[in-house]
Structure 1
Amino acid sequence: MKKWCLMVVMLCLVPLTGAAEEISAHIQKQYQDLESFSSSFVQRLTNAATKEVEVRSGTITFAKPRRIRWETTEPEKELLLVGRDVVWDYFPDENVAYKYAVEQVLQSKTMLRFISGEANLQEDFVIENQGDDAGLIKLKLIPREPETNLVLAYIWVQPTTNMLGKVLVVDFFGNGNELELSNMVMNKALDPAIFTFTPPKGVDVEDASSS
């Protein structure tokens, strides 16, 4: 599977001060109340070995229950779509689409579980409030059961809007996945059709949904 974003997008209101447990409880409650959001993003993928940084940009749209449309527009197009039963990862320039069962993708503590609202901060992580960082509230998340693609994470919250502003996820090899969000719109009515996908004629489909 191509490297696509697995990231923390816990889009919610939080208090500016307080113990980590209190802050995480507010995050969890607000995320549970969130019905949908859309946002622009800039993503920076850092290779720990080479120090090379790949920059991506595009949009993210989420709607309950666990519907996600992650569309990268630069530097190359990619559509990652989590529907009711199937996950599609489509690369139009390569004329190929990968098909997965939803549980294959969401069964581990990946960033898509955060986006879908299925991750539990207090159960899954040891949380440390690191205070103000250049005007943002910074939380450190240490997985109670680390996995290869997630051994450490940080989130930053905008104090003026109480919304998530930036996320950094680190994998077992030290590679960094940093995400900055902007132009957020919450709880807007969305067309369910945007969370469906039919491969265009002639696209090569790699089906791993039954494996």
Structure 2
Amino acid sequence: MTLRATHILTGITVTLLSLSFTALAGGEDAAKTALKQTLSNMQQFKADFTQTVKDMDGDVIHEASGKLIMARPDKLRWETLQPDETLLIADGRAVWNVDPFVEQVTIIDQSRAIQDNPMVLLTTGSDTQWDKFDIARKSDGSYMITPVNGTGQIQALQLFFENARLSRLIMQDAQAQHSELDFDNIQTDFSPALNQFEVTLPDSYTIDDQR
């Protein structure tokens, strides 16, 4: 092959690679825009959930059920009813983890709790937060979200929608465990009461404030 032909072939290869990377970036931007719009139309969300946690071999290691309420911006109430009662509340400033069995609550700063956690995208439209994650659209219509820097306890989050409403999610953590949540009795058209994101504790509770 002549030197000129080699240069031409190299130029074509570089051009094709450039176009491929541009197409991938464009696809990611389109997926991020579509997901952001879908979630922005879901300003509040309430549902019953069933949770199944599987280890890296696919064996079930935990099952739970409860209720979930989310409201934008940055509010979450996660109440587990079975097999044990627990309550997690994010009020926009702090995360309260309440364990009625041992009468203890642990409080941590919410900005630290959501660091590199893709779950934050469910309740925020902040570009700063969204820029921390890569988003891809799967062939089944679901969205795969991964942290850009690859750190954090949640390594991947997959969201599934039916009729523009969140119907299922799958989380993969740093230990390769998969947590699958299926939602039922879904509501998105209601006015969430602000006191649902407040914590009132009896005097008997021990408070571990890590803020």
* Match in the other structure for 1:62: 70
In structure 1, the residue matched to 2:123 is 116
How far did 1:127 drift?
Answer: 3.2
- Is 2:146 the partner of 1:142? yes
Deviation at 1:124? Answer: 3.2
Runs of 4+ in 1 over 4 A off after TM superposition: 118-122
Aligned-partner Cα distance in 1 for 2:207–2:130: 39
Distance 1:196 1:37, change over 3 A: same
Q: 2:172 aligns with which of 141, 166, 170?
A: 170
How many pairs does the alignment contain? 184
Separation of aligned partners in 1, 2:102 and 2:113: 22
Q: Indicate how the Cα distance of structure 1 residues 148 and 84 shifts in structure 2: closer, same or farther if over 3 A, else same.
A: closer
Alignment of 1:75-86 (within 5 A): 75-86=83-94
1:67-109 residue CA offsets vs partner (Å, 9 max, x unmatched): 1111111110110011143221001112111111222212x12
Give how far 1:62 is off.
1.4
Cα distance in structure 2, aligned partners of 1:70 and 1:171: 18
CA 116–178 in structure 1, closer or farther in 2 if over 3 Å, else same: same
Distance 1:130 1:59 in 2: 28
Q: Is the 8 A contact 1:39 1:185 kept in 2?
A: yes
CA distance in 2, matches of 1:37, 1:177: 20
1:200 aligns with 2:188: no
8 Å contact kept, 2:158–2:170: yes
Show CA shifts across 1:145-194 (max 9, x none): 11241223322222xx1322221111222111211112111131121111
Q: 2:100 aligns with which of 92, 113, 117?
A: 92
1:182 alignment partner, one of 181, 184, 193: 184
2:116 touches 2:152 (CA, 8 Å); kept in 1?
A: no
Gaps of 5+ in 1: 1-18
**RMSD over aligned Cα atoms:** 2.4
Alpha-carbon distance in structure 2 between the residues aligned to 1:99 and 1:66 = 16
How far, CA to CA, are the matches of 2:97 and 2:188 in structure 1? 25
What SS does structure 2 have at the residue aligned with 1:29? helix
C-alpha displacement of 1:59: 0.8
Deviation at residue 129 of structure 1 after TM alignment: 2.7
The answer on whether the counterparts of 1:131 and 1:139 sit within 8 Å (CA) in structure 2 is no
Answer with 1 or 2: which has the greater Rg.
Answer: 2
| Larger helix proportion of the pair | 2
- 1:26-85 deviations in whole A, cap 9, x for unaligned? 220232343312111111122337934211111111122211111111110110011143
Unaligned runs of 5+ in 2: 1-26
